[in-house]
């Protein structure tokens, strides 16, 4: 005990000298990652509750009401239930891939959050902390790369289950992937062309300089990206790979317990990623509405990250709203929409963006 105390005492001056560099290079980023991961996971579980509640309200029901007041503890109950359930691997499944698939689905959704800027910088305990894990100079490319991987989770799950309905779902997912991914990427290229940077922080700053959200400069891109985002996250009306009424649950038919939960969470995490990206690219990220209008500067009392979350929430709400309202597209209709509408539209948008950019 005594020795221990001495050691600390002797180390202390050294700690003091290391104070700034160590904390800034290691502790703060680690803390940020920790906080972000937990925040995302909590947000995801509560997205499930939000969705159930909102859809219930649309359908003149109450939704979860039993666990906690107005069902606020429902996500915890769900998590416990799923953790305690038996985790079944079908006898003839490809065991390795079967286990890998939910992970492949979940991880990219989480790592995509690394480059999403929630706010520029805030001051906390004397440290200036940027509210993003990393400002990668190819941030947007990184997100595109990460989110496309998560579709492989579905395809792998469909293949590994060795069952017919998941297989059909896997086929649908791959058909869906090539239909919308091209359109989305081309839309992103036109945004990059407008902003002149691939960095997520840079894009927000470019919107600050332009004094206007890109949703107003690039309305076509905005709508196209949103539709593409619905398809990307397998949400209604493009939830073909998991169409319960057609494929009895689709790719996760054979999954149970926590592995099923991972797919479930991945879908919601992906929704949040898409909403956050759309917020960053089109709604000015953490910027307050009309950042260039001085008369509205009183809105500055709301911190930037609050604006960011608010805008992301609006997207998420629309996601849920659409799910409650619209019927499902058919597989060939989605392909038609992707190839005949979204891709030409995205291409035209890119060309027009280029021409405008060159002329101005």
The contact set with other proteins (CB under 8 A) reads 55, 58-61, 164-165, 167-168, 171-172, 236-237, 239-240, 243-248, 323-333
Tokens read off for 339: 């190839």
Complex with other proteins: residue 236 or 278, whichever CB lies closer: 236
Report in angstroms how near the CB of residue 172 gets to other proteins at its nearest: 8
Report in angstroms how near the CB of residue 229 gets to other proteins at its nearest: 17
Burial degree of 23 (CB within 10 A; 0-12, 13-18, 19+) = middle
Complex with other proteins: residue 167 or 200, whichever CB lies closer: 167
3-state secondary structure of 198: coil
Q: Residue 163, Cβ neighbours under 10 Å: how many?
A: 17
Report in angstroms how near the CB of residue 152 gets to other proteins at its nearest: 21
Complex with other proteins: residue 200 or 337, whichever CB lies closer: 337
Complex with other proteins: residue 101 or 334, whichever CB lies closer: 334
- The answer to whether 126 and 217 are in contact (CB under 8 A) is no
What is d(CA 112, CA 115) in angstroms, rounded to the nearest whole number?
6
Report in angstroms how near the CB of residue 239 gets to other proteins at its nearest: 7
Bridge partners (DSSP) of residue 130 are 121
* 127-131 vs 119-124, strand pairing mode: antiparallel
Report in angstroms how near the CB of residue 191 gets to other proteins at its nearest: 27
Complex with other proteins: residue 299 or 324, whichever CB lies closer: 324
- Cβ neighbours for 176, distance < 8 A, ≥ 6 positions apart: 151, 231, 234, 238, 240, 241, 331, 334, 335, 338
Report in angstroms how near the CB of residue 111 gets to other proteins at its nearest: 31
Complex with other proteins: residue 137 or 248, whichever CB lies closer: 248
Complex with other proteins: residue 21 or 327, whichever CB lies closer: 327
Instruction: Evaluate the CA torsion angle 258, 110, 244, 241 in order and state its sign.
Output: negative
Q: Residue 322, Cβ neighbours under 10 Å: how many?
A: 16
What is d(CA 262, CA 103) in angstroms, rounded to the nearest whole number?
7
Report in angstroms how near the CB of residue 164 gets to other proteins at its nearest: 5
Report in angstroms how near the CB of residue 170 gets to other proteins at its nearest: 12
Complex with other proteins: residue 306 or 318, whichever CB lies closer: 318
Taking alpha carbons only, the member of 318, 317, 316, 307 closest to residue 284 is 307
Burial degree of 313 (CB within 10 A; 0-12, 13-18, 19+) = middle
Dihedral of CA atoms 235, 338, 220, 212 in degrees, nearest 10, equals 50
């Amino acid at each position: 005990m005594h020795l221990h105390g001495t050691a600390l005492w002797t180390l202390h001056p050294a700690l003091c000298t290391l104070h700034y560099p160590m904390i800034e290079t290691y502790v703060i980023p680690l803390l940020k990652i920790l906080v972000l991961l937990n925040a995302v996971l909590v947000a995801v579980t509560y997205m499930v509750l939000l969705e159930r509640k909102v859809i219930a309200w649309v359908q003149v029901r109450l939704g979860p009401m039993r666990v906690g007041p107005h069902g606020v503890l429902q996500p915890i109950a769900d998590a416990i239930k799923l953790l305690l359930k038996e985790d079944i691997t079908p006898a003839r499944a490809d065991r390795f891939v079967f286990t890998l698939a939910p992970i492949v689905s979940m991880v990219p959704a989480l790592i995509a959050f690394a480059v999403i800027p929630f706010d520029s910088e805030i001051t906390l305990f004397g440290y200036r902390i940027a509210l993003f894990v990393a400002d990668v100079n190819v941030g947007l490319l990184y997100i595109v790369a990460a989110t496309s991987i998560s579709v492989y989770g579905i395809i792998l799950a469909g293949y590994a289950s060795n069952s017919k309905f998941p297989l059909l779902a896997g086929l649908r997912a791959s058909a869906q992937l090539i239909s919308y991914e091209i359109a989305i990427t081309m839309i992103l290229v036109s945004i990059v062309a407008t902003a002149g940077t691939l960095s997520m922080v840079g894009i927000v700053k470019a919107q600050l300089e332009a004094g206007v959200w890109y949703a107003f400069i690039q309305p076509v891109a905005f709508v196209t990206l949103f539709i593409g985002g619905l398809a990307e996250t397998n949400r209604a009306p493009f939830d073909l790979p998991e169409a319960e009424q057609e494929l009895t649950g689709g790719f996760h038919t054979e999954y149970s317990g926590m592995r099923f939960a991972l797919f479930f969470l991945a879908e919601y995490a992906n929704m949040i990623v898409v909403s956050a990206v759309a917020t960053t690219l089109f709604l000015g990220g953490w910027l307050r509405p009309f950042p260039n209008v001085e008369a509205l500067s009183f809105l500055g009392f709301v911190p930037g990250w609050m604006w960011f979350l608010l805008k992301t929430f609006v997207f998420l709400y629309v996601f849920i709203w659409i799910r409650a309202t619209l019927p499902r597209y058919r597989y060939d209709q989605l392909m038609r929409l992707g190839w005949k509408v979204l891709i030409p539209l995205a291409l035209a948008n890119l060309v027009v963006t280029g021409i405008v950019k060159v002329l101005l």
